[in-house]
Structure 1
Amino acid sequence: MRKAVSTIILSAVVLGFCAAAVIGYVFWDFLASPTSAENREVVYEVQPGRGFNSIARDLEAAGVIRNSGLFSFYARAIGQRSKLKVGEYLLNSNMKPIDVLSVITSGHSLARPFTVSEGLNIFEIASLYERGGFGTSQNFLKVVRDPAFVRDLLGIDAVSLEGYLFPETYQITKFTTTKELVASMVNRFLSNYQAVENAVPAGMDRHQVVTLASIIEKETGAPVERPLISSVFHNRMAKGMRLQTDPTIIYGMAVATGKIPTNITKADLSRPTPYNTYVIPGLPPGPIANPGLHALQAAVRPEASPYFFFVSRNDGTHVFSATYEDHAKAVRSFQMNPRARAGKSWRDLQTKQKKTAAP
């Protein structure tokens, strides 16, 4: 009798062990094996308030996991059911369930690049933001023109964050708010500004440095020229001369109308705006674009030069002059000469418009 009982118990133990082994194997095979050999990407969004079981069923229906019940059991066993992070995730049908769980609890939401080039102003960045499908340009401009937000980020009273949206590539998720993006852009500026803050010339504050850097950024497409461009403006300010830089005219018109003009006319040179440096003395009240690090460096480290003037060669570079007489010669050679303009100068564009309008 005892032998029979022992045999039954032993058999039960063996059967239990075998059953556990089979269950363990099935469970481990589920966790460690890809759902499919097929390489099929699935973008899945973990939304606020969704329960784990519901999400597991979604993933099974999408072919990302084979068994939602086992997936939920495993997540509970290792304490991950409550660790879900809201986000948009890139999954694949050839992923292991272990890896799927790791992704949807990571918080590393799917992101798209948003690239801001040097010299863009807030209007251009807002347009880029909308064209990329990240949000509306109207909302972007509302955020960067919020005085309280400007004060929180920079500690200054300014009409906008123009100049402080550092040009770089940013990663934006579906859940990144406009304020979060703008704050990261300003923080990137503050980090980069540390490289120049100890070289700021006496008599200039940070806002003036950024303003000058923005003008330098807009004035030349040749990086090697930035320190020379800077020297011209420093020399003119030291002599009490007006800066007389065309990009400030364009920006003043953009602020006034909400549209960036494609070209300027001779009459625009005397058009009064707070930014028109043909009319106002010194620097404009704020930046006219968002400069990169090299323009900031040029603003605080101008090249020593005798120059007070420069004029475009129409190829992105400039002729620099120490006297007005030499400058006038350069203007005649490159801006008043139709061959030198070759359709690139605003004066040439103005001539074409007049010819088109002529009866």
Structure 2
Amino acid sequence: MPIETHKVTDRASWLKLREADVTASVAACLLGREVHDYQTAFGLYMLKTGQIAEDPDEAPPMLRGRLLEPVALQLLQEKHPEWTVVQPCVYLRDPDARLGATPDAYATNADGRGIVQIKSVEPSIFRQKWRDPDTGELRPPLWIAVQAIVEAHLSGADWAMVAALVVGHGLDLHEVPVPIHDGIVARVREEVARFWELVAAGTPPEPEYDRDAAVIARLYDQDDGTEVDLSGDNRLPEALVRRAELKDIESAGRDAEKERRAIDAEIIAKLGTATRGRLADGTVITAKTIRRSGYSVQPSTYRSVKIAAGSLRPAPAASAASIPERF
């Protein structure tokens, strides 16, 4: 079946079109843990199955990007007056693969027609994530490169480029060519097909508990007063020991709190809507819903994890956790 081209006329209809597909902007999250800076396979699954809703409001970085996109394209045209640069305002989708994309711009030059993916970037983030620490060479984050490649694939483009608009005291536009690797296109299509198989089977991907804590909190924001049997879970006793250690040292830094919150997310995910869980050693975990009234902030609810220890004993002191290597 050929690639479909849908004219984008308003944000609401565009969001509706995207619901049925894995879009280029999130496709990289299916390629492995921490490949995508902002999305996970678990979070994407919950969105596509309707278990959590897409936030109707644009996040500040997305709003900034949308408003500055015409500025970036004007700078690009001024730098390359011999190019033809247009905003296509289309949504492209492969209905068989359920893969879609919204190219920011098409540019035509001596090398043919290409796609240009626009990103507005804060200067410190640009220095940290857009330059190779050893060579200083410009290279976009992997998820953005994958986005550009998928857009080029769906649009039949001859070349692809990411244009990073660095917004500081001035406006600096950095052009980064992105090779269109057929192997990456094939891998994305394979992982997207596997993702839709999981959706059809009702089998969510394994959560990344540290990165999926907010999604898990949205899924299970209300407890129902029941108890779930966790006596067969061999992972939680070890996690609870580590959690107790982290609670003791959280005042020393935010890293310990972040890791402890990831364990809390794992606990809530395993409890689901149950209020309590009981381990094989008699340890009882509770996660009751706490309702906070709105004063200077909006009212909210959250789950408060408490541990009533059975035979739980602290494990031997562990060495400091190493920082995982990033792509």
TM-score by length of 2: 0.24
| Structure with the higher strand share, 1 or 2 | 2
Greater RCO between the two (CA within 8 Å, min separation 6)? 2
Asked which structure has the greater CA Rg, the reply is 1
| Structure with the higher helix share, 1 or 2 | 1
TM-score by length of 1: 0.23
